[in-house]
Amino acid sequence: MKIYTIGGSGLVGSRLAELLQDKYTIDDLSLTNGVDITDPSSLDVIRNDKEHEVVLHIAAKADVDGCEKDKEQGEDGAAYRINVGGAQNIADACKASQKKLLYISTDFVFDGEKEVPEKYSEEDAPDPINWYAMTKYKGEEVVKKSGVPYAILRIAYPYRGDEFPLKKDFVHAIMGRLANKQPITAVTDHIMTPTFIDDIAYAIDAVITNKATGIYHVVGSQSLSPYDATMLMADKFGFDKALISKTTREEYFKRKAPRPFNLSLNNDKITQLGVAMRTFEEGLKELKT
């Protein structure tokens, strides 16, 4: 099967291509080869194509605080043009060429107000509390209303087994500081669900193979705070825990975009397709081997 990826050269997409290249022919469309998703005409390559069956849309403006600065520009800001307008343009191109659309979204679409240990399921209504999350949610709505077969895959805090040279994931960023004996201040009152990127690849394969549609939480099987995650990394890799101190969301994200509290996501639906989503501890074990 032939697949187009959009934004496939980044942290997540490059690893997906490595893991799935033996099963699929993957052709990436991005700014580096002249495809600008905010320009409908640059997606004519999809619109006029009759060979590729699936479009995997990974590209986004994902800098949460950068997106918040775009908010005052509304629909004219980069976050909206990329995350909403881009999704619309891609969906239109998929409809014209009868392709299935896989849209990568985010755990941030939820407000995080659920009581721990409750988790968000795919049936829970999104309620974004920052502009990045709002634009990604609007992107989801575009996809749902597009008239094309689709799957929306919400991921959270993706990290790799190796270090990606162009951008460090949160695990390698933290471990790099600890390895260099630099102090880390970690938030205690935010609950996240880290996701091993290899598992995202296997989930995408399962969605394609099973012709699955709808919304899936493609996240790890362990939710914890950044502070607890950092302490686990120190445990597993023998870093000095004295370098790690606690802080709160209010203090750490002062004058930045608001962050949700509890982003524990339930991944039962994707595991029912036969995908084993690793816990954070299991993912760290992979990094160590």
What are the angstrom distances between the C-alpha of 174 and each of 23, 183, 220, 242, 280? 34, 10, 19, 14, 14
Task: State pTM to two decimals.
Answer: 0.97
Q: What is the pLDDT of residues 118-159, one digit of tens each?
A: 999 999 999 999 999 999 999 999 999 999 999 999 999 999
Structure tokens at 225: 């705070």
Q: Which domain holds residue 169?
A: 2-227+234-288
H or E stretch covering 28: strand 25-29
Q: What is the pLDDT of residues 163-199, one digit of tens each?
A: 998 889 999 999 999 999 999 999 999 999 999 999 9
Report the CATH number that the domain containing residue 138 is assigned in CATH.
Answer: 3.40.50.720
238: left (phi over 0), alpha (psi -120 to 50) or beta: left
For the chain, first and last CA: distance in Å?
Answer: 32
